[in-house]
A and B are shown apart, each in its own frame.
Chain A
Amino acid sequence: MKLITVIIISLITLIQTANAQESIYSRFGLGDVQSSYSARRLGMGQMGTSVADEDFIGTLNPAGWNKLKMTRIEFGVAFSGSFVSADNFENRYYAGTQFTGFTMAFPVSSVYGIGIAMGIVPVTNVNYTVTDHQSSANPNIGDYDISYVGSGGLSKVFIGSSYKLPLLDINIGATLDYYFGNLNYASTITFANADNLTATYQTTYQPKGIGTTLGFISPDFLAGTSSAFSDFRIGASANIIPKMNTDTLQTSTSTLRTDTVTTAPVNMKIPYRLNAGMSVLISKKYLVTIDVAYQPWSYYSLNNIKSNNMRDLFLISAGTEYRPVRELGGTFWNQVILRGGVSYEQTQYIINNTGINQVSVFGGFSVPLSYANTIDVGIQYSTKGTTDAMLLKESGFKFAFGLSLGDIWFLREEK
């Protein structure tokens, strides 16, 4: 328990000092969509809609909690590094860290496949800092910098449950999601001439609203038919997000004053998201998954105004996980889980009439700490965008670290 406390405190400290440089494209819409909340899923292509784990809390599909055997707590952080290059051969390296979520789940009934989970996970992430150096011929202005800083994002708190339909062996799940966010966009001008006062205009959006996630996982279509292949399932989930009430605050700040430019509640329309996938277990050791995701961001609107820089998101990914069959007396290395994956994402961004696409390869592993406890590591290398059409190409890697802790809670002692 002491160890867990130390780890939690360390991670919280890191989270508080973290400052991820995600993507300059995150200025548009609500920022980068976070498909993967965990190092474990990141390692096998971010998705796994049809996978039900007994030792992992997936957040993409609540139907996947039906196999939980223990009470679990999971959280993680990620380190991102990105080489951004422009068409003028200018390039830059950005890096930062990011909190990737906290989840908790416990099994209620293995017979009915009831597992209850809750947590807080990021949904989108806005993070960029760009500084433009300018020089004016006007002697009263001289040299000055304008820095554009975006931060924050949309998150959700969820609580939900899985349930196995009797007879049909179909697992379903649902969550109640409370979305909330704090998206800040600040532009600050500073002057080399100390007489000139710094000015900042900041716009903050604070959306909030209640949504739901519904999902199912099919029965094993290969049950009892093959010794080499098993657990062939399909699954799907849908995030339904109603219009969200969004408090908007625009302020102007200088050394002399801070003034509220406008403050008004507006509505924000975030499109639903569909995830679908299938998975199969080969030789009881190799899990193979293929998933797709679709989210029509072209319907995104803020105050009923759509963005010209948004289009529909489409993601396809494939992943695999090698999990050695657990045996008594197995060595440490016999318990290490390996993962890999690839994905292609048509992101929701369309800039200068050019769509921004992303190709990623993934890898990862889990190492055991003790029985039911693992440290998960996921690595992603991706290229996003292009240097054509005055755009940016972001080649980046992401190291995600997660801690997955299992314990037996709520177990009534026999008398």
Chain B
Amino acid sequence: MSVKIISFFVLVFVSLTLLSCSKDPSAIGVAYLKGDLINLDSLNSYPVKPDTLTQVSYSYHYSPALGYSTSLLLGQKGNNVATTLMSFNIVLPDTITAELNAGTIQVSDAIVRLYKSYTFGDTTLPFDFSAYPITSGWTSTGFTIDSLSSLQYDKTTNVFNGPKGHDTLLYTYHMQPSLALTWISNIAAGKLPDNGIVLVPTTSTNRIIGFYALSSSTTVDIPFIDVVLNKVVSGQTVYTDTLSFSTTADLSVVSGTIPQNTQDDYIYAQSSVALESRLVFDVSKLPKNAIINYAELQLTVDTTKSAFGSSFTDQLTAKYITDTTHIDSLSTSAVNLTRSVSTPVYIGNITYFVQTWLSTKINMGIQIQPYNYTEGVELWTIYGSKAIDPAKRPRLKITYTKKL
């Protein structure tokens, strides 16, 4: 009897409990609770009012190491001069080594093959360059445009003095056979490898071409040098052989300056050069304990003053600066700013940045750079904080929750 009674009541209670779990939330009674602890608010940098977010922006030059770039840039466009360095990985068969040491090998031709991957500027405009043997050591790691001034090379001899072949993709240049012979002879004699060549655009050049570099994903279209060897015995050519060597190191460096900007209207981001910008919004008007629900950064580009190559990733990257003294101390988290094809406005979600500024009380601003800052020479001309039209200035739109 007892068990039956208890079972009955437990059953009733479980049923009632399960019944009570099906309720939906309701707004009834919210009149007494509205604003209890919490309030949603927003803060925008536009339209400009006394209580909006003030901002400062400027551009600066940064010298990135491009050794890991997938392309070798060469040419000149505007104030950008792209110079390429390359050295070759010469590995000789024992028979050739012996013949070279015996002095019975001659180099009849040396052809450098470069495969085009990118163009910047009108393809009908002039493109030419000179190649000089490098006489000082260099490595692709850490070499920047600033390193170029200390690079030593023989400027008196253009070693690409033969016919030039400019196919759709394949560019071939005949190099002085004597230089190629010197390189392979040094290797055969067990001496240190040569330092390669530097390719310097001529002043008449008005475009930039990118070639696949050793770091690119392809193994076929990377730079090669084909060395044609003749074995000569008693003045007679016994056989002809061609050895191909890929680059052992290659890179390009691009010089450039911040474009003329008399009105101080613009900030810039340019790949490879690299131009970067710093943008600082004063977020001190945010309540101390605010939770940032959403923060959106908008950058408007002047498409008429921007320049883009044949292929690039149409995105900008924003990182927040973490150190008060080093502008290049950046957050590991990056935000990509993208745009719709039809608009000149790049948009990114920087909620984490703003929340971090608020939490750490350190706001050194945001660094704006191209998404692929080591590839191409795309130039984004962005309306800056002093743009005459306030609507085109960088915008920060913050939605936040504050405690009441």
Tell whether A and B belong to one assembly.
yes
Q: Is the CB of B293 within 8 A of A130?
A: no
Q: Is the CB of A197 within 8 A of B351?
A: yes
Residues of A79-133 at the interface with B, using a CB-CB cut-off of 8 Å, are 79, 81, 84-86, 90-97, 128-133
Q: Is the CB of A86 within 8 A of B28?
A: yes
| Interface check A27, CB cutoff 8 A | yes
Per the bound structure, the CA–CA distance linking A390 and B34 in Å amounts to: 14
Residues of B263-294 at the interface with A, using a CB-CB cut-off of 8 Å, are 289, 291-294
Nearest residue, chain B, Cβ from A403: B6
Q: Is the CB of B38 within 8 A of A130?
A: no
Which residues of A are found within 8 Å of B6, using beta-carbon distances? Answer: 3, 7, 369, 375
Nearest residue, chain B, Cβ from A149: B25
Per the bound structure, the CA–CA distance linking A199 and B13 in Å amounts to: 36
Task: Point out which of A129, A131, A146, A256 has the most chain B C-beta atoms below 10 A from its C-beta.
Answer: A146
Q: Is the CB of A95 within 8 A of B289?
A: no
Q: Is the CB of A187 within 8 A of B36?
A: yes
Specify which of B30, B31, B351, B397 is in contact with A256 (CB 8 Å cutoff).
B351
Specify which of A133, A140, A144, A201 is in contact with B42 (CB 8 Å cutoff).
A140
Known A130-B33, A250-B403; judge A14-B291 contact (CB<8 A): no
| Interface check B125, CB cutoff 8 A | no
Residues of A380-415 at the interface with B, using a CB-CB cut-off of 8 Å, are 390, 392, 399, 401
Residues of B147-198 at the interface with A, using a CB-CB cut-off of 8 Å, are none
Residues of B35-59 at the interface with A, using a CB-CB cut-off of 8 Å, are 36-38, 40, 42
Nearest residue, chain B, Cβ from A390: B31
Q: Is the CB of B17 within 8 A of A14?
A: yes
| Interface check A21, CB cutoff 8 A | yes
Per the bound structure, the CA–CA distance linking A278 and B6 in Å amounts to: 33
Q: Is the CB of B40 within 8 A of A141?
A: yes
Could you say which interface size class chain B belongs to?
Answer: 35 or more
Q: Is the CB of B9 within 8 A of A377?
A: yes
Query: What 1/0 mask marks residues of chain A from 189 to 219 whose CB sits below 8 Å from any chain B CB?
Result: 1010101111101110000000000000000
| Interface check A337, CB cutoff 8 A | no
Known A140-B42, A199-B401, A259-B359; judge A94-B23 contact (CB<8 A): yes
Which residues of B are found within 8 Å of A189, using beta-carbon distances? Answer: 38, 40, 293, 401
Q: Is the CB of A79 within 8 A of B20?
A: yes
Query: What 1/0 mask marks residues of chain B from 283 to 316 whose CB sits below 8 Å from any chain A CB?
Result: 0000001011110100000000000000000000
Residues of B1-27 at the interface with A, using a CB-CB cut-off of 8 Å, are 1-3, 5-6, 9-10, 12-14, 16-17, 19-21, 23, 25-27
Which residues of A are found within 8 Å of B401, using beta-carbon distances? Answer: 189, 199, 201, 252
Q: Is the CB of A259 within 8 A of B289?
A: yes
Per the bound structure, the CA–CA distance linking A241 and B182 in Å amounts to: 100
| Interface check B355, CB cutoff 8 A | yes
Q: Is the CB of B13 within 8 A of A203?
A: no
| Interface check A254, CB cutoff 8 A | yes
Per the bound structure, the CA–CA distance linking A90 and B30 in Å amounts to: 12
Which residues of B are found within 8 Å of A96, using beta-carbon distances? Answer: 20
Specify which of B10, B31, B40, B399 is in contact with A7 (CB 8 Å cutoff).
B10
Specify which of B12, B359, B397, B403 is in contact with A140 (CB 8 Å cutoff).
B397
| Interface check B68, CB cutoff 8 A | no
Specify which of B16, B29, B289, B403 is in contact with A24 (CB 8 Å cutoff).
B29
Which residues of A are found within 8 Å of B359, using beta-carbon distances? Answer: 257, 259
Residues of B57-95 at the interface with A, using a CB-CB cut-off of 8 Å, are none
Per the bound structure, the CA–CA distance linking A250 and B288 in Å amounts to: 14
Per the bound structure, the CA–CA distance linking A252 and B401 in Å amounts to: 10
Which residues of B are found within 8 Å of A201, using beta-carbon distances? Answer: 37-38, 291, 401, 403
Which residues of B are found within 8 Å of A92, using beta-carbon distances? Answer: 26, 28
| Interface check B245, CB cutoff 8 A | no
Q: Is the CB of A27 within 8 A of B32?
A: yes
Per the bound structure, the CA–CA distance linking A341 and B365 in Å amounts to: 70
| Interface check A332, CB cutoff 8 A | yes
Specify which of A19, A130, A401 is in contact with B13 (CB 8 Å cutoff).
A401
Which residues of B are found within 8 Å of A390, using beta-carbon distances? Answer: 31
Q: Is the CB of A17 within 8 A of B17?
A: yes
Nearest residue, chain B, Cβ from A373: B2
Nearest residue, chain A, Cβ from B18: A17
Expressed in whole angstroms, the minimum distance between the Cβ of A80 and any Cβ of chain B is 8
| Interface check B349, CB cutoff 8 A | yes
Q: Is the CB of B29 within 8 A of A199?
A: no
Q: Is the CB of B289 within 8 A of A90?
A: no
Nearest residue, chain A, Cβ from B400: A199
Which residues of A are found within 8 Å of B31, using beta-carbon distances? Answer: 390
Per the bound structure, the CA–CA distance linking A261 and B40 in Å amounts to: 17
Q: Is the CB of A369 within 8 A of B399?
A: no
Nearest residue, chain B, Cβ from A186: B37
Which residues of B are found within 8 Å of A259, using beta-carbon distances? Answer: 289, 359
Which residues of B are found within 8 Å of A199, using beta-carbon distances? Answer: 38, 291, 293, 401
Q: Is the CB of B27 within 8 A of A256?
A: no
Nearest residue, chain A, Cβ from B10: A10
| Interface check B352, CB cutoff 8 A | yes
Nearest residue, chain B, Cβ from A94: B23
> Other CB < 8 Å A-B pairs besides A14-B17, A86-B28, 5 of them?
A132-B34, A197-B292, A199-B291, A199-B401, A201-B401
Q: Which 10 residue pairs of A and B lie closest in terms of their CB atoms, listed nearest first?
A: A95-B20, A131-B25, A24-B29, A187-B38, A199-B291, A199-B401, A187-B37, A369-B2, A79-B16, A148-B33
